[in-house]
Structure 1
Amino acid sequence: MGYKALYTRLMQLWKPGTALELVDLGHGCYLAKFNSLADLERVVTRGPWLVQDHYLTVRQWFPTFRPDNDHIVKTMAWVRLPGLPLQYYNDDLLTTFASGIGKPPWKDTLIVRLLGKTMGYKALYTRLMQLWKPGAALELVDLGHGCYLAKFSSLADLERVVTRGPWLVQDHYLTVRQWFPTFRPDNDHIVKTMAWVRLPGLPLQYYNDDLLTTFATGIGKPVKINSNTSLASHALYALMCVEIDLSQPLVPLVSTDEEVFKVQYEGLHVICLNCGRYGHKTVQCQFDALAEPFIPVEIVEPENYMEVSSVVVPTPVVPRVSAPMPAILFGGMVGGDTSTLHPASPAAF
């Protein structure tokens, strides 16, 4: 197809909001340079594109690309399932059907975003390569608004990234989610994230996976429990990874029937003193003040837990109302009574 005809058709298809430059590289290859990351994001995520009933392959440019040695082995394509009964018309079932035909275009792609911090593309890419250590190629696309598309060549690499978090970049959490077709970076509101939380000064008799999971349930959704006891400032603390809802006030305390324990959050830097939520300062708060007396949430500097041993909490986790104390712990005898665990009320502190 001629340059002018292709350029005209692409302008009609993509409808860029700003200028689009198209460079003919020869051998049927073109370089499309966008002045707007939003335009690029639409082109990358809203395909596949058809020009005169032929598919237009779209890939991120890479330094070793050579148009005279370009062999296209994969492309996205529209497929039909004629006569499919109506009961199969839901996203999960259709995705299962698509998996039997080929790989859904979003299966090897994650949306990543740094929580509460902006970072340049090159610096972020370098840090992710150091953190994730992928065994195969990793492509990172800047979608604007602090969002990036991470495209993996190996599903094993993707699985490690999803299951071994939470990830910290310069003491800020990196949110990692599966890409979905309706994702829009200019309207992305992160509601939940995984975070490391500590229970400082927790007595040793509580250090077993069941009891720690019960504590974690009072804070958020348990993800995994660190199986090691950490020592910091001569004080023991229990370490847990939980999924927390950032749209709700953070839990400052948990308690048993007899004791109250502070909850410390790692890496959450902006906490409102009016409503107890993450993500805005007190002067910017648009929520009503908490009905009960406010207990400040404690934020601590994160540590590196990439190599520590962790116990993954099965899903779903059913919160336990009453959890028995272990009979033997660290070679010492403790009582066999039970203790009910729950989030603490401010009045208990």
Structure 2
Amino acid sequence: MRCKRGSCETTQRQIDLNDEPKKWASFFNSNRMSAKGMGLNYINPIMRNGEQVIELKKEEIEKATEEWKQALILYVVGESPTIAATERYIALQVNTVSKPKVYYHNDGYFLVRFANLDDRNEVLYSGPHMMNNKPIIVKVWSAEFDFNKEVLQTVPIWVKYPNLPLSCWSQDSLSRISSGLGVPLYADECTTKVERISFARVLVEMDVARELPKKLKVEDPNGRVFEQAVQYEWIPEYYTKCMQVGHQCNKEEGNKPKVAPRWSINGCRNKLWWVA
């Protein structure tokens, strides 16, 4: 079939434009870039109530989450160390066969990916941590992790219960008492093995936007009520102006996070066990 001058050329251009997506896909599939990166596929979004919704699959999320379950979040309050400095600090905390991978997030925290859970737990359980005399907030990474809510407001804090009755040193009782402060995480080795009876020491995740209780009212099975004193090894300074821990909005006023001195009792190690 013959065509007038210019009409066949226009038709050919239309065909080329229609084939453009296929050409780009073929380019990346055959290019050396595909060996360095990850090839992607087009998956139709769904329409719900007239709006486009991207629907993720449970098995895909679970697979990706599994790859990060041995990771920790590290945030140095009032300090911005380099990745190299963070790597050196971690090397001093745990003797690992495989060097952990340290990532820096622009929000100001580090994500440390360990080779296994044992290495991760060695750092997690050995607090409280300090770098250049600045406290370090250490948290387990989770798929729902939100830096602004979890690190800048909800903080793991070591607490002591001085003169806590020995009848209350069980896993269940420590969990119940500590739940009056927040979410109980761990009891240290001295508490677990009752190697020191002057106080129990527990790691509790607390909302520092609220006033930290100095005592708890406890009732025993016989109905006897007593007040249990609470001491904090580190009291993070929460700035209501910017709603963050250790933020520099009040730097000109000289406000600094309050840090309690570290302690040691008869060389007892800071190794911990699960509480609740």
The TM-score bracket by the shorter chain reads 0.5 to 0.7
Distance, in Å, in 2 between the alignment partners of 1:256 and 1:182 is 33
Q: Which residue of 1 aligns with 2:105?
A: 143
User: 2:171 corresponds to which letter in structure 1?
Assistant: D
Match of 1:220 in 2: 182
In structure 2, do the counterparts of structure 1 residues 230 and 192 end up closer, same or farther at CA, with 3 Å as the change threshold?
Answer: farther
Q: Out of 245, 262, 275, which is 1:302 matched to?
A: 262
What pairs up with 1:198-277 in 2 under 5 angstroms?
A: 198-226=160-188, 227-229=192-194, 236-257=198-219, 258-270=225-237
* Equivalent in the alignment of 2:152: 190
Structure with a larger share of its residues in helix: 2
C-alpha change, 1:176 and 1:222, in structure 2 (3 Å) is: closer
CA contact (8 A) 1:127 1:169 kept: no
Structure 2 runs not aligned, ≥5 long: 1-24, 49-53, 220-224, 251-257
Q: Deviations over 1:227-285 (max 9, x none)?
A: 14465xxx81111111112232222211224321221111334368x9xx98369x96x
Asked if structure 1 preserves the Cα contact closer than 8 Å seen for 2:184 and 2:205, the reply is: yes
Partner of 1:95: 61
Asked whether the equivalents of residues 138 and 150 of structure 1 are also in contact (C-alpha less than 8 Å), the reply is: yes
**TM-score (normalised: structure 2):** 0.59
Match of 1:279 in 2: 245
Q: State which structure, 1 or 2, has the greater radius of gyration over its C-alpha atoms.
A: 2
Kept after mapping to 2: 8 A contact 1:166/1:195: no
Match of 1:44 in 2: none
Greater RCO (Cα-Cα under 8 Å, separation 6 or more):
2
SS of aligned partner of 2:105: strand
Seen in structure 2, the aligned counterparts of structure 1 residues 301 and 191 have a Cα distance that, compared at 3 Å, is: same
CA change 1:279–1:110 in 2 (3 A) is: closer
Q: Give the 5 Å matches for 1:148-187.
A: 148-152=110-114, 154-156=115-117, 159-160=120-121, 164=125, 166=127, 168-170=129-131, 172-178=135-141
* Partner residue, 2:28: 53
AA aligned to 1:266 is: E
Q: Describe the SS at the equivalent of 1:259.
A: strand
Distance in 2, Cα, partners of 1:199 & 1:309: 18
Superposition TM-score, scaled by structure 1 size: 0.48
Cα drift, residue 90 of structure 1: 4.5
Give the residue type in structure 2 aligned to 1:205: S
- AA of the residue aligned to 1:173: I
1:28-60 superposed Cα distances (whole Å, 9 cap, x missing partner):
xxxxxxxxxxxxxxxxxxxxxx99526898xxx
